[in-house]
Amino acid sequence: MEKRATIKDVAEAAGVGVATVSRVLSGGSASAATRERVLAVAAQLDYRPSALGRNLRQRRTGGMGLLVPDLTDTFYGQLSEGVLACARSAGEPVVIGSTGGDPEQEADLIGMLLEQSVDRLIAVPSGDADAWSPVLRAGMTVVFADRLPLLSSPEDVRAAAVADLMALDGLSAAAPARPLDIPAVVADDRAGIRTAVRYLRGLGHKRIAFLGGPGQESRVNAFREAVGAPVDEELVVFGTGSRDSAYAAASGLFQSRPDLSAVVAGGNVLGEAAVLAARELDLRVPRDVSLVMYDDVPWAELCSPPLTVIAQPGRDMGYRAAELVLRAGTRKPRSVVLPTELIIRGSCGPHR
Amino acid sequence: MEKRATIKDVAEAAGVGVATVSRVLSGGSASAATRERVLAVAAQLDYRPSALGRNLRQRRTGGMGLLVPDLTDTFYGQLSEGVLACARSAGEPVVIGSTGGDPEQEADLIGMLLEQSVDRLIAVPSGDADAWSPVLRAGMTVVFADRLPLLSSPEDVRAAAVADLMALDGLSAAAPARPLDIPAVVADDRAGIRTAVRYLRGLGHKRIAFLGGPGQESRVNAFREAVGAPVDEELVVFGTGSRDSAYAAASGLFQSRPDLSAVVAGGNVLGEAAVLAARELDLRVPRDVSLVMYDDVPWAELCSPPLTVIAQPGRDMGYRAAELVLRAGTRKPRSVVLPTELIIRGSCGPHR
DNA sequence: CACTCACGTGGATACGTTTTCAAGCATCTC
DNA sequence: GAGATGCTTGAAAACGTATCCACGTGAGTG
């Protein structure tokens, strides 16, 4: 196990000062002759600058943090792949954490990132806005993906609801002033849900349920808006994030309201739970109940019938978020809303 | 954005030297009085030791690297969750990379990790053994997960085949001397495949095909061994890792050999491709073709019929690998072989 | 020719921590 | 009571890099 060459070794071998080596390697000015010599020596010694020294000197770790609720959820897998793709092309490391949707674990992981001096973070937030403002004060550049943190105080919630609707109105609409001024890359939940609800309405469905998970406030709001008042509150139910609780929620919904004829699932885990629960209760899809699921995942096509879905570009979402967080120094990052698409397959039928 | 307190600040505020602060915080000896004072001051200043300084001093980054082929593959999602769970409980960061199954990208990512002085790595290897030996020489502690790297030279390959069979013979059998002495956490592929093949045989199937992906040499070998010579080589086909190529392989297999009555898919992406291709070709599962898939993923139950699978404990695999790599300093890590389980659902029927 | 200016260069410093080392001090032993 | 022993403590060095600053050299200008 031979030890790695340091910048000092290169400097000595090339007969120059360490400062010159540093400049050559980080693109500073140097004469053509010395540049060439330094590069040759560096290559010959197989010199790789130590990120440790650099990081300490610049008082920050390169790369970025990535916080997702669950890597077992295919959508977050897609999102992560997008982030990693962007990071790879930039040659930057990404340190990842899985929060389990738990604000406490999220806070722990943020603490760990802080300790590592990771100052750029892409997060699918679980904690509320109050939990995130300290992070900003710590000097972190944060970009939210997939969703925004829930606002905590009542008046904030009101303001945010308004802001959300405004933000989603146009695809590239400028984000309104929010209590928490953090850029985000999210899907156009409002349009996606609206399209799905209209589609179901067009098939004759009247009693449409929403099966949601944690952090899907924006989708629920969109659902409420799309169905119009008055919303039958028994028809919107929530799981807590685990597959078990999603199944319980779905099963409970089907049993307590046999009159519902369609359900929109707020995410692929919820969708999975819905088809499982429906099968268990001998409800046929789409004969007895129509189903449209948020997230297009490979296995949606495998179901029989194949699932009609609201597709959101998970990979793009991750990639864009990574771009934003990397360019944060240069450009002031603006929020991005990505389009969704209703992909009609076989899980929705006419109301009978 | 107030700047963080350093150890020096704490030392001054507590009226002690920095060395004392360091000792108190890293569990060294100190008098009860000073310990208490230092702790109080540290808490009051909200002091968090910077990993940067520590890392530079110790010439190594804490935590571990994690290299998987594709986070979109649910199995690797499970494996990653296991690694993250272990890392979280140890308070260690994880820097992740997705190789896409490409040895070149893998090498790039390894280079990045080296640059970061990450000296502990959990990898699902894509490159062959020759690509990995330099990593060891660089002083990295590596633990392979899910599979072993392919050996490159012909004699090595022979030796490895023998070694693999030996290694898999007992669950906790000591790993034989291999050209590459790296501990690994893998599933008992041999037993898993053997059980599946026997099960299919028991249903009367004679022409059983194997649909494999990259890095599944161990499973193919096990398949060859289980069916016994002579193996109809047309019945073992490979995709390159992408979903498209998996689909192409599956589709090609079904079309070129309409006489096959059962197929074993070497992974969940392959299994997905198989049911898609079968449906496209109007082959009914399990009436026309029986299917058993490696990997138990949540959506296996969603298919109709639900898929019979060889379950391997992805999460455990990741957790164990992380444990091994973290304890590498203390204990000399030994390879681990985890049990598989044939979960019979509805995708296999009697041969007709 | 003297003076300025621009540029290439290297020495020195700082980043925040851990660890070594020796010194200070109190206690114990003969 | 003198020496030895043990424990606590702080000063200082080191880790590998980027950057500030000052120095020297060459060209360009008056």
Q: How far apart are CA A274 and CA A254, in angstroms?
A: 9
Cβ atoms of residues B192 and B342 within 8 Å: yes
pLDDT of residue B201: 96
Could you tell me the maximum CA-CA distance found in chain A, to the nearest angstrom? 85
Q: Which tokens is B99 given?
A: 């190789």
Q: Give yes or no for a contact between B336 and B143, defined as CB atoms under 8 angstroms apart.
A: no
Closest nucleotide to A17: CA versus each C1': C10
- B27 is near strand D: CB distance < 7 Å: no
Q: pLDDT band for position B8 (50/70/90)?
A: very high
3-class secondary-structure state, position A25: helix
Q: From the CA of A32 to the C1' of C5: give the distance in Å.
A: 21
- Tokens 């919630």 belong to residue: A157
What is the rounded CA–CA span in Å between residue B171 and residue B190? 11
Q: Cβ of A57 < 7 Å from strand D? A: yes
Question: Cβ(B181)–Cβ(B328) under 8 Å?
Answer: no
pLDDT digits (tens, 9 = 90+) for A181-230: 899 999 999 999 999 999 999 999 999 999 999 999 999 999 999 998 78
Q: Which of A61, A113, A272 sits opposite B302 (nearest CB)?
A: A272
What is the reported pLDDT for B155? 58
In three-state secondary structure terms, A50 is coil
Q: CB of A18 under 7 A from strand C?
A: yes
Enter the pTM of the model: 0.91
Answer yes or no: is B8 CB < 7 A from strand C: yes
Decide if A52 and B59 are in contact by the 8 Å CB cutoff.
yes
pLDDT score for B7: 96
Q: What confidence tier does B330 reach under pLDDT thresholds 50, 70, 90?
A: confident
Is any atom of strand D within 7 angstroms of residue B116's beta carbon? no
Q: Read off the pLDDT of residues B190-206 as tens digits, 9 standing for 90 and up.
A: 999 999 999 999 999 99
Find the helix or strand (DSSP H, E) in which A306 lies.
none
Task: Report the gap between the CA of A173 and the closest CA in chain B (Å).
Answer: 29
Report the residue from A56, A91, A112 with minimal CB separation from B53. Answer: A56
Q: For residue A291, what are its two tokens?
A: 């189903």
Q: Report the alpha-carbon distance of residue A70 to residue A58 in Å, rounded.
A: 32
Measured CA to CA, the distance from residue A316 to residue A86 in angstroms comes to 10
The pLDDT profile of chain A, 352 residues, written as one tens digit per residue, is: 667 899 999 999 999 999 999 999 998 788 899 999 999 999 999 999 999 999 999 999 989 999 999 999 999 999 999 999 999 999 999 999 999 999 999 999 999 999 999 999 999 999 999 999 999 999 999 999 999 998 876 655 555 555 555 555 444 344 444 567 899 999 999 999 999 999 999 999 999 999 999 999 999 999 999 998 788 889 999 999 999 999 999 999 999 999 999 999 999 999 999 999 999 999 998 999 999 999 999 999 999 899 999 999 999 999 999 999 999 888 788 899 999 999 999 999 998 7
CB B214 within 8 A of CB B241: yes
Distance B51 CA to C25 C1' (A): 35
Q: Which residues of B touch A26 (CB under 8 A)?
A: none
Which of the nucleotides in strand C have any atom less than 7 Å away from a protein CB atom?
Answer: 7-12, 14-21
Cβ–Cβ below 8 Å for A56 and B56: yes
Give the Cα separation of B184 and B187 in Å (integer). 10
Q: Please tell me the distance from the alpha carbon of residue B113 to that of residue B247, in angstroms, as a whole number.
A: 34
Taking CA–CA distances from A111, the nearest residue in chain B reads: B48
Strand bridging mode A94-98 / B94-98: antiparallel
User: What tokens appear for A25 in the block?
Assistant: 């390697």
DSSP, collapsed to helix, strand or coil, labels residue B122 as strand
Strands of A107-188, DSSP E: 120-123, 141-145, 184-187
Sequence-separated (6 or more) residues with CB below 8 Å from residue B27: none
DSSP code per residue over B135-178: HHHTT-EEEEESS-PPP-SHHHHHHHHHHHHHHTTSTTPPPPP-
Which member of B73, B81, B96 has the closest CB to residue A84? B96
Nearest protein residue to D13's C1' (by CA)? Answer: B57
Is the minimum distance from the CB of A26 to strand D below 7 Å?
yes
Distance A202 CA to C20 C1' (A): 78
Q: How many CB atoms lie within 10 A of CB B287?
A: 11
Interchain pair B105, A85: CB under 8 A: no
Q: Is B146 left (phi over 0), alpha (psi -120 to 50) or beta?
A: left
Condensed to tens digits (0 to 9), the pLDDT of residues B253-286 reads 999 999 999 999 999 999 999 999 999 999 998 9
Q: Each residue of A167-200: b (16+ CB within 10 Å) or e?
A: bbeeeeeebeebbbebbbbbbbbbbbbbbbbebb
Ramachandran angles phi, psi of A118, nearest 5°: -75, 120
Q: Whose CA is closest to A59, among A119, A122, A138?
A: A119
Residue nearest to nucleotide C20 (CA to C1'): B19
**Least confident range of B79-83, B220-224, B333-337:** B333-337
Chain B residue closest to A304 (CA)?
B304
Work out the minimum CA distance from A50 to partner chain B, whole angstroms.
5
Say if the Cβ atoms of B113 and A93 lie within 8 Å: yes
Q: What is the pLDDT of residue B81?
A: 98
Closest chain A C-alpha to B246 CA, distance in angstroms: 13
Section B340-352 average pLDDT: 94
Whether the CB-CB separation of A342 and A143 falls below 8 Å is answered with no
CA angle (A326, A330, A331) in 5-degree steps:
90
What is d(CA B52, CA B4) in angstroms, rounded to the nearest whole number? 13
Per-residue exposure over B78-117, b if at least 16 CB sit within 10 Å of its own CB, e if not: bbbbbbbbbbbeeebbbbbbbbbbbbebbbebbebbbbbb
Q: Distance from residue A11 (CA) to nucleotide C7 (C1'), in Å?
A: 20
CA-CA distances (angstroms) from residue B312 to B75, B85, B306, B336, B337?
Answer: 9, 18, 17, 13, 11
| D2 C1' to A148 CA distance, Å | 75
A74 touches strand D (CB under 7 A): no
DSSP helix, strand, coil percent of chain B (3-state; round to 5) = 45, 15, 40
Residues of B in contact with A247 (CB under 8 A): none
Q: Are A293 and A342 a contacting pair, CB within 8 Å?
A: no
Q: Which of A52, A49, A50, A182 shows the shortest CA–CA distance to A116?
A: A52
Return the structure tokens found at B210.
């194997």
Beta bridge partners of B209: B263
pLDDT value, residue B177 = 42
Residue A1: is it exposed, middle or buried by C-beta count within 10 angstroms (0-12/13-18/19+)? exposed
Contact criterion met (CB < 8 Å) for A49 and B85: no
Question: Interior CA angle at A41 toward A36 and A42, to 5°?
Answer: 95
* pLDDT the model gives residue A163: 57
Token pair belonging to A127: 């904690």
Q: How many other CB atoms are there within 10 angstroms of residue B6's CB atom?
A: 17
How far out from the chain centre does Cα B164 lie? 17
CB contact under 8 Å between A71 and B71, yes or no, is: yes
What whole-number distance in Å separates Cα of residue A319 and Cα of residue A333?
14
> Which whole number is the average pLDDT over B91-102?
97
Element (H, E) at B67: strand B64-68
Strand D: list positions under 7 Å from protein Cβ: 7-20
Question: Is there contact between B59 and strand C, defined as CB under 7 Å from any strand atom?
Answer: no
**CA-to-C1' distance for A56 and C14, Å?**
10
Å between A22 CA and D30 C1'? 38
Give the Cα separation of B185 and A246 in Å (integer).
32
Nucleic strand D under 7 Å from the C-beta of B19: yes
